[in-house]
Chains A and B, each alone.
Chain A
Amino acid sequence: DAKTTQPTSMDCAEGRAANLPCNHSTISGNEYVYWYRQIHSQGPQYIIHGLKNNETNEMASLIITEDRKSSTLILPHATLRDTAVYYCINNAGNMLTFGGGTRLMVKP
């Protein structure tokens, strides 16, 4: 079973920041937090990952709380093409267990 919980769905206005929360209260010390997204009828796409420090790349920023029990994925300027299901996963190896994810709808 997935070890993370996320809101089922969220809406965001185009051009605004999308903040997607994830709870992973049982995360172990050696487990990373990974974020993938899945656009309709495609395979999952890697976004970003982190262990305990905040991370930023060309796609998004990841904010991890100091106790590591939760994190937030930030898409700074959401576009219509960011409409997708976003999955937050924590693991220590190469296995990935997908939960329900958050269905983000970016609206004009």
Chain B
Amino acid sequence: GAVVSQHPSWVICKSGTSVKIECRSLDFQATTMFWYRQFPKQSLMLMATSNEGSKATYEQGVEKDKFLINHASLTLSTLTVTSAHPEDSSFYICSAESNGPKDQPQHFGDGTRLSIL
């Protein structure tokens, strides 16, 4: 089945640094990928929709200059949290849109737990 790989799975860094998270579709091409954020004991909230070869579409309230998204190929999207601060600590999850038979709309990665000290 379709596999989405997310890397790293866990990262700790100092306040003020930038962190890049990668999302790869391993056995299929994904024109569209999605980035979600999940705080403890809360549901997933969509941050942005990433489209290959074009600018990402951000949800209301998400700072596009802080959360940089690049989708340069059909198998890779990256999310860079710039100048990260403790309030950016969260669980970030990516997904890729299915482009085959519609068994499910999106295939999810296993998430990246980001901790900013």
A2 to chain B, nearest CB (A): 8
* Total number of residue pairs linking A and B with CB closer than 8 Å: 51
Q: Please report whether the interface of chain B is mostly helix, strand, loop or mixed according to DSSP.
A: strand
Stretch at the interface among B13-21, B71-79, B80-88, B102-110: B102-110
B93 touching A49, Cβ below 8 Å: no
Q: Please report whether the interface of chain A is mostly helix, strand, loop or mixed according to DSSP.
A: loop
The residues of B that contact A100 with a CB separation of less than 8 Å are 43
Known: A94-B97, A101-B43. A42 touches B105 (CB 8 A): no
Which size class do A's interface residues fall under?
20 to 34
Interface residue? B46 (CB, 8 A): yes
The residues of B that contact A46 with a CB separation of less than 8 Å are 103-104, 107
User: What residues make up the interface of B, taking CB atoms closer than 8 Å to A?
Assistant: 4, 6, 32, 34, 36, 43-46, 91, 93, 95, 97-98, 103-111, 113
User: What residues make up the interface of A, taking CB atoms closer than 8 Å to B?
Assistant: 2, 34, 36, 38, 41-46, 49, 87, 91, 93-101
